[in-house]
Structure 1
């Protein structure tokens, strides 16, 4: 059905400007003739005045269209100097209006109609060689304004898509700065280790009045990094086994090896817990690589001595009667446990260690051969003290912490994974970190109060650290007050990691909000715009024709017609997502809002 509002072609040539020039010429001609001609001057004055009035009328009509065409040149990159006053304004706006997303407008059917008309016309602006993308897309609206997203909405997670250099990191910089100024815990996982993002985050902490909130982890700079135990937080010991076995290749022929490794790690972890030790990556590697004999003896000593206080003396006296190695002592403890303790007080935790000890040594070595290299990477060199810290080591002055402690102390934590130099280690650290955060989320969900601070988690290049725990945080993190911002380049990145397009779409669909910068992948473009409601666009068709009658060849008839039609199209043309300039985006927010915006570059006042 046609709208009652008349349809006007937006991008036709500015005919009014040509008409104004003609009237301006007529005004000057009449004014000049007044002095040359001997005729009465009143007639020339009236003619000149009429031409001036018509010229002003046409200029008034031409000016809006000239401004409209001028907007097609696009916007220049905007710098946002973060001063103390600007910080106060951002804090106030965050509380009253929500998170600031830059400048722009809400994209509606009117803007889609204008873009549709321009793409169909011959007046499409030429692309500049100095700037990247089609700047005219942002010129579909006359007036832009600050864009805000209410704080209640960002609980439902945000996906950011864009090719390298399109502005993902600058968008993270803007969002991180506001989260810091709101005095909320912030955790940033950056596989590539962007120094600008780290330095801008530190500057935000300084402007918020507490520089000590900022903490940094980077494998490439161990002297400047904090020490963190990524196995500190768990609800059940089996969680640690799942995390570590998840570092192995999964699926296909590797499934039996992964299952065995998970069983072995679980037994070792339970053994350390029985001995009163909190497991670390180094301890787990020692328990697996060096054999479980020593750990088994300590665990059986602790269990048996609990129910039989004289057990250790009995085993020690037998050992002193003859030469005994560790294996012999372990067998004596096993026999004592099975005869004296197991019938009345069985302990499944220590029985897992016994099973592992009695397993064929050659087969055991083959089954965990795939896991040991992954553990070796995380426990070798400086990483041994970074990821398996000893809190009692007074010689190491670097801070020692864990993720739950970072959140409780309201810290701003930057994790640079250095995946460019060592992708395998970077991915393993990222996955362990996300698994630890998932455990913290589960603990907050079960036991924390409603007054807990929301946690802002930023994951750049999410495909590099993709794991089941990240999907769990997207699925269930909202109940634990986790706000996730996940960035990637294309939908194909998730598809390559997860193995199917359906799984990749399922992953993205867990984010209610989607911010898309420039993306060249046609499937990603189609995926984003297909979720928008279709609209009907209007256009004109002009027909003309000439015909003759065979009986009267000298007679001609002609016709000229103009017809208005409607056609269904996309609210935002998908091909334009590949032509967005740097730092410009299209945001599809939860609830159906579609925003076209541009991001400022945050800099210090001295820049």
Structure 2
């Protein structure tokens, strides 16, 4: 702890002259003890004086050491790392890292380091530079490799150890080191206000995500990790922490379909219009594309309504099938709805129309159509029967095939991508294939089981599919949020199953790959149902480019009450933080020297001179854009708790310390493939818009068809108890 400063100017960038005073005091104390007669003292007085001098020297030494330590930290910060088990977990706070609250004092100190006079305090010394030159010159000489290993050692005993590869300006954090670092914690109550993490590529966003995810898992929250890259390390972190916490864990990974759980993004909904929106959200909506997107939504919505009315669970394969050939769906739905609501005797009229069909009299668009479909069309026109879904199917049937293909041209390629290859097995699962042991999950079952879910979208391989699946998952989560908000997670379950409010921590890495219109309601209104979103992205321009509207981008940013800003390269992104901070006053010390000649020849004064220090103040930004751009890796500014600014650094990852947890990716891959078990708990076919009785009947049918069991894909059991 540095000595208290009672002066208007804090002089820390100066030689540690206190060492000289300490050395003098200790020398006098030594003389007083060993040779008291030299300084004409009695033994008792000499010993007392030596004690006082020793304490005075110790005080001065501590003051000098604080100044010297401050200088050292301006160049190199002390190492900070944590093992996974050392990450603190609290039910009241979310740990972010070590740091301090940023005030005007830190702004003053940081500006002082930019003075050219103080350059020597913020640059490595001559011995450090010489060591680096020797390393460079001896790099190709194998015989002297031991010299390089000594010079490049990161040991604390190496005075010329290379700087850690984090770049940036360490002085930004060092200005708070004199007072010391404290754990920076965000109150759990602030989590529902959501957190936005901004940072350039490879500056530590994923490491921060691992720390937050670890705490959420161990705290007992439902955790959903959305990772467009499909990073194996992040998957392993989620898996290991779920195992350690004995939590159910489900991995959905488009890049590893053999070990991935399955998910139907349009199979669960609270409103029948939702699946079509989730499907078409991935389509372009600028310019002329907007009209084709609306046409695609209309026909997808009609198909889904008819398919659901026939008792089927919609999925991408069925939509693709019926868009390419709508006649089987038209006939099945038309006959069913006429049987339920049509007039008596419609079947006889239908047969009569079938027998009287003359292909020569048909319109050109219907000449290659199924005669049964044509008869159904004429029947509906003749008996003047109206059903909105049937009317929509008939309108699609009446179009010429080539014309129909054109108006849904944007939807066809997307469905082709979503239903091609092994990816189709994951997002369009076959519920009746009992040989496929990969579990099928939905968000309601995840919340009820208090599970951990990792979603790897493999966007580097196919960004279109990744975006479509991610968008549908967000929309599905938003729908479930509304259902939970209205009914709770125990809706439709027996009364003896204990259920209550559960927090759902959603971590969206590479957030710009996932954001869309469906995300706005989630961060806007889902806090009431326990949702807490942490989004990670590089720049605000990424959000704007993805959403296609500056106003919507601002709307999304405005719904994040907490901001963590790591190093960024775009000034506009840095201004998201700096524009929210106040101006502060700093002190400036000006040295003034002057000489004046005397004009009085009779005076004994030939000239006068003066030297003075003038103290002035001026207003500056608390932190500038350039300070954010110069942040080292693993460091950040955090604007939390209603505008409180903290400077923090994230702990570096250290080796896993639990021998019972698998830490190698290849072994984990083998384990997850070997431990699949089917289970009815993840194969719920209930739609939220159906009533309780229908849900119960369908669940019983599934149990009879597939049998009960445990779900386990990562070594953690999750019994199918309904919660």
Task: Note whether the superposition's TM-score is higher than 0.5.
Answer: yes
Asked if the contact 1:230–1:387 (Cα under 8 Å) also holds between the matched residues in 2, the reply is yes
Aligned twin of 2:608? 557
Which structure has more RCO (C-alpha within 8 Å, separation ≥ 6)? 1
Aligned twin of 1:266? 301
* CA displacement, residues 417-444 of structure 1 (integer Å, 9 cap, x when unaligned): 1111222221222112112212212222
Aligned twin of 1:305? 339
Aligned twin of 1:384? 424
* CA displacement, residues 176-229 of structure 1 (integer Å, 9 cap, x when unaligned): 11111122211111011111111111111111123xx11111112111011110
Aligned twin of 1:125? 122
After TM superposition, give the deviation of residue 457 of structure 1 in Å. 0.7
Given the alignment, which residue of 559, 574, 585 partners 1:510? 559
1:74-473 alignment runs, 5 A limit: 74-83=76-85, 90=89, 94-95=90-91, 97-120=92-115, 122-123=118-119, 124-126=121-123, 129-132=163-166, 133-139=168-174, 140-141=176-177, 142-210=179-247, 213-290=248-325, 292-307=326-341, 308=343, 311-312=346-347, 315-316=350-351, 319=354, 327-340=370-383, 342=385, 346-448=386-488, 451-473=500-522
Asked if the contact 1:31–1:44 (Cα under 8 Å) also holds between the matched residues in 2, the reply is no
* CA displacement, residues 411-468 of structure 1 (integer Å, 9 cap, x when unaligned): 2111101111222221222112112212212222333379421111111011112211
* CA displacement, residues 336-392 of structure 1 (integer Å, 9 cap, x when unaligned): 2333362xxx31121111111112332211111121111100001112221111212
- 3-state SS of paired residue (2:213): helix
Aligned twin of 1:71? 73
Q: Flag the 1:403–1:67 CA change in 2: closer, same or farther, 3 A.
A: same
Q: RMSD of aligned C-alpha atoms?
A: 3.1
Structure 2 CA distance for aligned equivalents of residues 59 and 540 of structure 1: 27
Aligned twin of 1:13? 15
1:543 equivalent to 2:574? Answer no
- 3-state SS of paired residue (1:148): strand
Asked if the contact 1:304–1:341 (Cα under 8 Å) also holds between the matched residues in 2, the reply is no
Aligned twin of 2:665? none
After TM superposition, give the deviation of residue 54 of structure 1 in Å. 6.7
1:17-28 alignment runs, 5 A limit: 17-21=19-23
Given the alignment, which residue of 595, 612, 628 partners 1:577? 628
After TM superposition, give the deviation of residue 71 of structure 1 in Å. 3.4
Asked if the contact 1:158–1:485 (Cα under 8 Å) also holds between the matched residues in 2, the reply is yes
After TM superposition, give the deviation of residue 486 of structure 1 in Å. 0.4
Identify unmatched segments of 5+ residues in structure 2: 125-161, 360-367, 490-498, 660-723
- 3-state SS of paired residue (2:118): coil
Name which of structure 1's ranges 198-207 and 396-405 shifts more when overlaid on structure 2.
396-405
After TM superposition, give the deviation of residue 51 of structure 1 in Å. 7.9
Structure 1 CA distance for aligned equivalents of residues 545 and 292 of structure 2: 23
Identify unmatched segments of 5+ residues in structure 1: none
After TM superposition, give the deviation of residue 408 of structure 1 in Å. 2.2
- 3-state SS of paired residue (1:237): coil
Structure 1 CA distance for aligned equivalents of residues 22 and 82 of structure 2: 41
Q: Flag the 1:507–1:62 CA change in 2: closer, same or farther, 3 A.
A: same
Structure 1 CA distance for aligned equivalents of residues 541 and 356 of structure 2: 68
Aligned twin of 1:591? 642
* CA displacement, residues 114-152 of structure 1 (integer Å, 9 cap, x when unaligned): 223333351441266543222232222322122221111
Asked if the contact 1:267–1:356 (Cα under 8 Å) also holds between the matched residues in 2, the reply is no
- 3-state SS of paired residue (1:421): coil
Asked if the contact 2:112–2:118 (Cα under 8 Å) also holds between the matched residues in 1, the reply is no
Number of aligned positions between the proteins: 587
- 3-state SS of paired residue (1:192): coil
Asked if the contact 1:161–1:490 (Cα under 8 Å) also holds between the matched residues in 2, the reply is yes
Structure 2 length-normalised TM: 0.75
Q: Flag the 1:420–1:442 CA change in 2: closer, same or farther, 3 A.
A: same
Name which of structure 1's ranges 61-70 and 466-475 shifts more when overlaid on structure 2.
61-70
Structure 2 CA distance for aligned equivalents of residues 227 and 73 of structure 1: 51
After TM superposition, give the deviation of residue 400 of structure 1 in Å. 1.5
Asked if the contact 1:304–1:337 (Cα under 8 Å) also holds between the matched residues in 2, the reply is no
After TM superposition, give the deviation of residue 286 of structure 1 in Å. 0.7
Structure 2 CA distance for aligned equivalents of residues 591 and 188 of structure 1: 26
Asked if the contact 2:13–2:118 (Cα under 8 Å) also holds between the matched residues in 1, the reply is no
Asked if the contact 2:100–2:648 (Cα under 8 Å) also holds between the matched residues in 1, the reply is yes
Structure 1 CA distance for aligned equivalents of residues 488 and 231 of structure 2: 33
After TM superposition, give the deviation of residue 596 of structure 1 in Å. 1.6
Asked if the contact 2:195–2:563 (Cα under 8 Å) also holds between the matched residues in 1, the reply is yes
After TM superposition, give the deviation of residue 12 of structure 1 in Å. 2.6
Name which of structure 1's ranges 189-198 and 559-568 shifts more when overlaid on structure 2.
559-568
